[in-house]
Structure 1
Amino acid sequence: MKPRRLVRALLLLSVLLGAFLLAGCQRGGELPWKLTNVSGHMPDLDFKLVDDHGKPVSGADYRGKVVLMYFGYTHCPDVCPLTLAQLHVVMQRLGPLADDARILFVSVDPARDTPEVMHAYVNAFDPRAVGLSGEPRALEALSKRYRSAYTREPDKGDGQYEVSHSSAIYLFDRDGKARLLSTAADAQDDLVHDLHLLLDTGAKP
């Protein structure tokens, strides 16, 4: 197996393994979640980065909104655009409820993903998407905080390179509490179902 494919396989395995280990908390909660329930097993939404308008923001700035956080980069050839396109469809299916949700697209390629580049990219998919970037150390710390992973591939010699990264979507409630984990194995219907529960003001933790 080629080194790049091996790295991607290992990243995917780590995400699936994490989901499996957390799946024991999935059933038996107060709400009939379809996705993996990570309540109490992952930290609150907390970071200090820069948004796609060049404004410093923190996790606290998104309190009151249901947040879907995803790690990726604008030069990603496949999984990132597919994921953001799917999230746009999810937002459309939620209707007016989607106004209380935000997609946080966290760059794992800060060298190329400037606020201007991020703004054009995320807004091409959905107006409720926010591009976040920052110093490499801050991004690495945030990735480790949520057990995500990424690695930059060697430069091809023309300034072009790929970044292998995990592809899970992290869902946080209005209070910034980590609630659910969605992976590529989950159906879009399940994501829509659980977002309805999170966005319903009557849903209890």
Structure 2
Amino acid sequence: MKRQLFLRTLLLATWPVAAPAAPLLKAGVFDPAQQAPEFALQGSDGADLTLARFKGRLVLLVFGFTHCPEVCPTTLATLAQARKALGPQAAEVQVVYVTVDPERDDLARIRQYLAAFDPSFIGGTGTPERLAAMRKRYGVVAEKIAQPQASAYGMNHSTSVWLIDRTGRLRAMMPYGHAAQDFVHDLRLLLAGR
């Protein structure tokens, strides 16, 4: 009897126990999470724009340009809807929009552009070299594309949104086209420390 009890206890002690499943994010997860590359740009709010500035808050990092005909305005409108749906928790989320077109996107233009979506959004610009180095660290591509008018051009660029947690770790990347509710789902999980 003692032997059976001992064997049963030993079996239970060595039986693999599944850990509770981690909540699944809708975005593609970086596993393991890694420290997001720091950056230093000029902010559309008049202050230096760095990642460290937002420690303790979630950062949604977006790359785009103000002449973008579809992707950028759609993404920014989606993020504005997500922040609104978060209610009071929206104060813990910062959208940072970094231009891929410093030739046309000065601080005044970026500020005016972002204000049409959400006045809390902060844009960033810098020298072409500094922006290119930042894009490289984040794995972002951006290239000019010619338009029929000789003086005009468009930009092809990465369209995902990078989700950075309160401690500055790159947690996930949300591909273009996700609804505001997907962002709300993921932001609530990250705000809860998951």
Return the TM-score normalized by structure 1. Answer: 0.78
Larger CA deviation: 189-198 vs 91-100: 189-198
- Aligned ranges 1:33-182 → 2 under 5 Å: 33-40=25-32, 42-154=34-146, 157=149, 159-182=151-174
Q: Is the CA contact 2:59–2:94 (under 8 Å) kept in the aligned structure 1? A: yes
Amino acid in the other structure paired with 1:87: L
Q: Any stretches of 5+ residues in structure 1 without a counterpart?
A: 1-27
Alignment partners' CA distance in 1, 2:40 and 2:143: 21
Q: 1:63 to 1:41 in 2, by over 3 A?
A: closer
| Aligned alpha-carbon RMSD (Å) | 1.9
SS at match of 2:56: coil
Q: 1:42 to 1:140 in 2, by over 3 A?
A: farther
Alignment partners' CA distance in 1, 2:163 and 2:110: 21
Q: Any stretches of 5+ residues in structure 2 without a counterpart?
A: 1-19
Amino acid in the other structure paired with 1:98: A
Q: Is the CA contact 1:40–1:178 (under 8 Å) kept in the aligned structure 2? A: no
Amino acid in the other structure paired with 1:90: A
Q: Is the CA contact 2:37–2:137 (under 8 Å) kept in the aligned structure 1? A: no
Q: 1:176 to 1:161 in 2, by over 3 A?
A: same
Structure showing the higher strand proportion among its residues = 2
- Deviation string, structure 1 residues 26-73 (Cα, Å, up to 9, x no partner): xx9733322211143554241010001343222111111100001000
Matched with 2:6 is: none
- Deviation string, structure 1 residues 124-144 (Cα, Å, up to 9, x no partner): 101221011111111111111
Q: 1:74 to 1:37 in 2, by over 3 A?
A: same
Return the TM-score normalized by structure 2. Answer: 0.83
Q: Is the CA contact 1:45–1:172 (under 8 Å) kept in the aligned structure 2? A: no
Query: What stretches of structure 1 move > 6 A for 4+ residues in a row?
Result: none
Q: 1:84 to 1:185 in 2, by over 3 A?
A: closer
Alignment partners' CA distance in 2, 1:108 and 1:29: 38
Matched with 1:22 is: none
Alignment partners' CA distance in 2, 1:145 and 1:40: 17
Alignment partners' CA distance in 1, 2:97 and 2:57: 15
Identity of aligned residues (%): 35
Number of residues paired by the alignment?
175
- Select 1:194's aligned residue among 161, 186, 193: 186
Alignment partners' CA distance in 1, 2:68 and 2:29: 28
